[in-house]
A and B are shown apart, each in its own frame.
Chain A
Amino acid sequence: MTALFVDEYPAEARLVKAAFLSSFIAFGIGALFGIIQALHRTDIFRFIDSIKYYTVLTGHGVFLVIAFTIFFLVGLYQWAVTDSLERGPVDIRFTWFWYGLMAIGSFLAAISILAGFLEQPPMVLGAELRANVLFTFYAPLEANPLYYIGLALFLVGTWLAGIDWFRTWWAWRDENPGERIPLRTFMVLTTMMMFFLGSVGVIVSILVFILPWSLEITESLNPLLTRTLFWFFGHMIVYFWLLPAYLLWYSVLPKLSGGRLFSDPLARVVFILFVLLSTPVGIHHQYMDPGIAEGFKFIAMTNTMFLLLPSFLTAFTVVASMEHGARQRGGEGRFNWLQALPWRNPAFTGMALAGLVFAFGGFTGIVNAGMNINYLVHNALWIPGHIHAQVGTATALTLMAGSYWLVPQLTGNRLVGRQVALFQVVLWFVGIVFMTNSMFRAGLVGVPRRTAEPQYQGFEYDVPVGSMGELNAQLALGGTLLFISAMLFLVLMLLTVFNNDSEPIVDGTLPPALSGPEDSPQVLDNLRLWFGIAFALVVLAYALPLAGIVAQSGLFGQDIPPFPVSSEAVMYLEFGLDYVGALVT
């Protein structure tokens, strides 16, 4: 047995643990908010005001898809770079600096969201401290400037993390001239290239338009422009959530299955395809938006369809690697090898179930991507069904399963409650099946997403099979199981961290691929080339739509004032509503 990561790289292990700690805190709060929503929107148990629901919803989004996923990503990637290059960062103080920026940024964003629960939020930077704008923060809804500052700091921290890993790699390259980039480092570097390119949209949106406008430096903005810039970033970010799971599926899952990765070259191809295609597709989130020509939507649609390719390749390689592992363990027959897989290992079972849900989620994604079918499901509950299958399970369950394997190596402690852990990952799977089944079906009858009370006065949903009551019960049951599963995970992690007098029983070595990097052309490692092509594709996909939006209604829009979501605004709105009502009648 080789030395544990914590023994070989104690300084780096500390950072990875800090990142995971931040990630898990966010996960706990986000999961709590999740069950509150599941019970509230189904009208099964409402203990908060429906206005506060949107505070909960904002928190659920930001804590889970920004903080939980990205903090885990930076931890995992720090481990992957260190372990695969067998060296630490050039300067670990820089590493802590970017972690600090991310932590401060998420803290600022978090308090601006959580202040929404106060009856009398304090005034900060000239506005009430609130951020009930959801994680998409579509202007002209306006949050406190602190929220945008927090997000900006978090993004800058993430950028610096990427730069840090590139520096580490450059240093390694000087020490190891002519060698191929180790696979895990290759995955980290390509993921970050994708992030650099795609996050430009949201960074420009925040720093140039929304933050100055929320600070009253600029008076107006163009809501379609900031929305388009958000989605410039918004589809890349889903792959940013997903690629840590891919890294685990490609590097750790084959080993857990008892074998080796099937193909190293195709793993590289997959990550390159994500660099190329994950940004010039963002407009597929805006099929229903006026002001973007149909042709651009068509281009985004075709790009999106080609983005299926890397996921299909992944399905093949991962299943082939699992089969290889199973046969190494004595599995035989066309399908009987499945029985030879280590199903009692929570890390394996969690990842395998996550992959299964990902396949299903992928097919629902094809529906979303089909631009004319999208009319049926856009902003319906179908969409969160898709999201919870993807980031909520493919990513989240893989990260939890990966933690069962990785955290013992980071702490030097044995995993507590292996049986409970196995129960936990299966419970998550069962929970997500109930919840997403309900969401998909409810979405098809038109139940909208992102609302506190999807019950309306003027009509009732036409549920062809079953009833709304049954769909609501499934959603609430699924949400409850997911919450219990999340809490079990956190408890096991906590107990493992304090399980000092133990030796872990994991082996951290990862075997090389069956078909190694020597089978792939050198050009795959030419990161400049791929970045250049990706840049060109983004320019092709976005230059004209963005120019069109700016030409139509200007860089700063047509006198669009902020719309703060605060209690005062509510009173103002109600007054406005009465006034308009009087005009109408």
Chain B
Amino acid sequence: MRIHQYEKIWIAGAMILIVGFIVTITYGSVGLGITMIGDEEETIAPDELNDDEQFGEPRVEQVGENEYAAYVVAQTFIFQPDPIEIPANNEITFYVTSRDVIHGFYVPGTNINAMAIPGQVAELTVEFDEPGEHGLICHEYCGSGHHTMEGLIVVQSEDEFDLTELSAETPDTVAPGEQIQLNATVENGQLEPLETTVNAEIGDQTFQQDLTVDGKSTQNVTFTADSTQLGVGEHDWTVTVDDYEETGTVEVVSNETDEQAGGDES
């Protein structure tokens, strides 16, 4: 086959360019370790998501030192959880699936980009260097409300970040002379033990207790107040642990009146 000399040079140049592109991309994968979303994850049927250990309750979880997993479910037209709170300077592995149609999982301006396909789980590992807030959007058309589908990724500094959960409760009503028991539960989702102080107030009585919650466990604290001292009527209570606060009311009801007052707890 007769090929003009110039054209031969051109073809050779084109081939060098092509091979060069392939080499740079290979270097990106092997040398820099930019992995592609692959097929490592098990599949999961969308109608079994609610019963799934990981996606049943979409959340962020610590899985190792400086390593977190974020289980995200995309569905028309929201992301769960929202916001997704994660620590800076830690490896975050997102596991993303869809409950219904094909969605996207994209943080504009970054390389956090994946498809959420029903039945499949996309896995991608990222790290944020700086605390801050990033918009999360669905970038695959998913139906009439597609353009409203957004979430938020909140990156907190390492010191600030925790996976602490606080819940607290008292009886709604007590009779005068009975003890008021305030039960507070502190859950530590991180691997390291949590050393903290629980502060509580019931009416005008204050309590304080130091507490150490081991990694991935839960501790209960009970504070007891005397209802006689507080007197008949509604009393506010508050429990705080670090930045978390729970509040409610308890009513001391005299024996003569049988009124039920609605307590509040969450």
Which A residues form the contact surface with B (CB < 8 A)? 50-51, 54, 57, 132, 134, 138, 140-141, 222-224, 227, 262-263, 265-266, 286-294, 297-298, 301-302, 305-306, 308-309, 312-313, 316-317, 320, 366, 369-373, 375-376, 378-380, 445-454, 456-459, 461-462, 515, 519-521, 548, 552-553, 557-560, 563, 565, 569-570, 573, 576-577, 580-581, 584
Whether the Cβ atoms of B39 and A552 lie closer than 8 Å is yes
Whether the Cβ atoms of A313 and B11 lie closer than 8 Å is yes
Q: Which of B6, B7, B18, B143 contacts A308 (CB 8 A)?
A: B18
Nearest B residue to A380 via CB reads B139
Q: A380-B108, A448-B139, A520-B2 are in contact. List 20 more A-B contacts (CB 8 A).
A: A227-B117, A265-B3, A291-B39, A293-B39, A294-B37, A298-B36, A305-B22, A308-B14, A308-B21, A309-B14, A316-B6, A373-B28, A378-B106, A379-B104, A458-B152, A519-B1, A552-B39, A559-B46, A560-B118, A573-B145
Whether the Cβ atoms of A577 and B78 lie closer than 8 Å is yes
Q: Which of A263, A371, A552, A584 contacts B25 (CB 8 A)?
A: A371
A458 and B133 in contact (CB under 8 A), knowing A291-B43, A446-B108?
Answer: yes
- Min Cβ gap A186→B in Å is 15
Whether the Cβ atoms of A134 and B141 lie closer than 8 Å is yes
Nearest A residue to B36 via CB reads A294
Whether the Cβ atoms of A456 and B47 lie closer than 8 Å is no
Whether the Cβ atoms of A305 and B41 lie closer than 8 Å is no
A451 and B146 in contact (CB under 8 A), knowing A263-B4, A378-B113, A379-B106?
Answer: yes
Whether the Cβ atoms of A141 and B1 lie closer than 8 Å is no
Whether the Cβ atoms of A290 and B146 lie closer than 8 Å is no
Question: CA–CA, A448 to B18, complex, Å?
Answer: 29
Question: CA–CA, A177 to B140, complex, Å?
Answer: 53
For residue B150, CB closer than 8 A to chain A, the reply is: yes
State which residues 1-42 of B face A: CB under 8 Å: 1-4, 6-7, 10-11, 14-15, 17-18, 21-22, 24-25, 28-29, 32, 34-39, 41
Q: Which residues of A contact B96 (CB under 8 A)?
A: 290
For residue B189, CB closer than 8 A to chain A, the reply is: no
Whether the Cβ atoms of B147 and A559 lie closer than 8 Å is no
Question: CA–CA, A375 to B109, complex, Å?
Answer: 10
- Min Cβ gap A386→B in Å is 15
Q: Which of A140, A294, A458, A515 contacts B38 (CB 8 A)?
A: A294
Whether the Cβ atoms of B143 and A289 lie closer than 8 Å is no
- Min Cβ gap B147→A in Å is 4
Q: Which of A51, A138, A451, A515 contacts B102 (CB 8 A)?
A: A138
Whether the Cβ atoms of B117 and A305 lie closer than 8 Å is no
For residue B87, CB closer than 8 A to chain A, the reply is: no
A366 and B104 in contact (CB under 8 A), knowing A453-B147, A459-B135, A577-B77?
Answer: no
Whether the Cβ atoms of B109 and A445 lie closer than 8 Å is yes
A50 and B147 in contact (CB under 8 A), knowing A224-B117, A292-B38, A305-B22?
Answer: yes
Whether the Cβ atoms of B139 and A449 lie closer than 8 Å is yes
A461 and B10 in contact (CB under 8 A), knowing A54-B144, A223-B119?
Answer: no
Question: CA–CA, A223 to B24, complex, Å?
Answer: 32
Question: CA–CA, A520 to B4, complex, Å?
Answer: 12
Q: Which residues of A contact B120 (CB under 8 A)?
A: 224, 289-291, 553
Question: CA–CA, A457 to B144, complex, Å?
Answer: 18
Q: Which of A457, A521, A581 contacts B150 (CB 8 A)?
A: A457
Q: Which residues of B contact A57 (CB under 8 A)?
A: 141
State which residues 137-162 of B face A: CB under 8 Å: 137, 139-148, 150-152
Whether the Cβ atoms of A375 and B111 lie closer than 8 Å is yes
For residue B61, CB closer than 8 A to chain A, the reply is: no
Q: Which residues of B contact A222 (CB under 8 A)?
A: 119
Q: Which of A317, A369, A452, A519 contacts B147 (CB 8 A)?
A: A452
Nearest A residue to B73 via CB reads A580
Question: CA–CA, A580 to B74, complex, Å?
Answer: 12
For residue B234, CB closer than 8 A to chain A, the reply is: no
Q: Which of B21, B37, B44, B78 contacts A288 (CB 8 A)?
A: B37
- Min Cβ gap A335→B in Å is 16
Question: CA–CA, A254 to B2, complex, Å?
Answer: 20
Q: Which residues of B contact A559 (CB under 8 A)?
A: 45-47
20 contacts between A and B (CB under 8 A): A57-B141, A140-B102, A141-B142, A227-B102, A263-B7, A265-B3, A266-B3, A288-B37, A290-B39, A290-B121, A294-B29, A298-B36, A309-B14, A312-B17, A313-B10, A370-B21, A445-B108, A445-B109, A558-B47, A570-B144
The CB with the most chain B CB atoms within 10 A, among A57, A320, A519, A558, is that of A558
Question: CA–CA, A390 to B110, complex, Å?
Answer: 26
Whether the Cβ atoms of B119 and A265 lie closer than 8 Å is no
Whether the Cβ atoms of B119 and A456 lie closer than 8 Å is no
Whether the Cβ atoms of A580 and B123 lie closer than 8 Å is no
Whether the Cβ atoms of A305 and B139 lie closer than 8 Å is no
